[in-house]
Amino acid sequence: MRLVLATRNSAKAGEMKRILARLLPDWEILDLNSFPPFPEPEETADTYAGNARIKAVASAQATGELCLADDAGLEIAALGGAPGVHSRRFGGEDLPFPEKMRLVLEKLDGIPPERRQARFRCAVAIADSEGWQQVVEATCDGFIAEEPRGEGGFGYDPIFYYPNLGKTFGELTADEKDSVSHRGKVLKLAAEALRRWPGGATIAELTRSGPAEE
């Protein structure tokens, strides 16, 4: 069984492969770096699920493979849910994440810790070239730290404080983060959906029944 992650972001792909390797140990997990480039679609939806679906469907059509795409964002209560679905483009598409985090912290300047609630939200869409699709979503609640801490993870992880472990996502080990994060949770749901993929059931049935009789 083979699954293609609809991303060329090596940090994100690495995290997703690590999680899925435990959930789907018999599957081969690739990403788009294993395929020739193709025009990647604009993320024009106003929801995470919509953007994930756009990417999954486009990748499945371009590669002919079963594809999984995600879209995630950071929602900060004191900013009315911003940056939200625009998290990757916050402050400008090409602005590095250290600068994006600096902008977030500037906007929260003077806001006390108890009012710095935040949530990571992640949607995953799965699609194949025959038109089968599934979408799942999960969240992780925390707070925005007063300064970045830790070198782990990627994106906004160094400023997302997870109170149950007393650390930012940037300070967590990979195993700690995978066990509690929005992406870890949503990929568990995605793995359940992948086990029900009609194409996988067909392959399993053919394997069990053996070669067709002449």
Report H helices in the chain: 10-23, 48-63, 97-107, 174-180, 182-195, 198-209
SS3 162: strand
* Distance from the Cα of residue 83 to its chain's centroid: 16
- At position 149, the amino acid (one-letter code) is R
Q: Where are the alpha helices (DSSP H) in 38-181?
A: 48-63, 97-107, 174-180
Catalytic residues: 71
